[in-house]
Amino acid sequence: RPLRLEDDDMIRFMSILMIILTAFLCGLNNIYVPYQETEQLGNFNETFQFLFWTMFGMEEHKVVDMPQFLVPEFVGRALYGIFTIVMVIVLLNMLIAMITNSFQKIEDDADVEWKFAR
């Protein structure tokens, strides 16, 4: 059996990723809809693109700034910061752990597979 990430692990990871992305997408979008200060936030499609490219570090954090509205700016910055931490630290480490677990399962079965092939 070739070395590969287990299918159920990948489905589980992608479903968790989509749930978290959707939650932050709805939260950030709803904060910025009444203000329409930036072109990238306040529109569902544009907010999704902003968060998607944020996962790869390709967006500037200044997009969430609204100097004239203090409370929505604070909440937006907080949500954006939490999103970045969750995506980069938690989900990346979870993916590494899932790959390591799959590799360990395959490594444990390697002797049996070798004997069966002989």
In 1-118 the beta strands, taken as DSSP E runs, fall at: none
CATH number at residue 78: 1.10.287
pTM for the model stands at: 0.72
**Domain range spanning residue 32?**
2-117
CA angle at 8 for the pair 6 and 99, rounded to the nearest 5°: 40
Percent of the chain with pLDDT over 70: 93
6 neighbors 102 (Cβ within 8 angstroms)? yes
| Best CA proximity match to 25, nearest among 9, 45, 5, 39 | 45
28 neighbors 41 (Cβ within 8 angstroms)? yes
What's the rounded Cα separation, in Å, for the pair 68 and 65?
A: 9
What's the rounded Cα separation, in Å, for the pair 78 and 92?
A: 20
Q: What is the count of structural domains for the chain?
A: 1
What's the rounded Cα separation, in Å, for the pair 102 and 93?
A: 14
What pLDDT digit, counting tens, does each position of 65-105 carry?
887 888 888 888 898 889 888 888 888 888 888 888 878 88
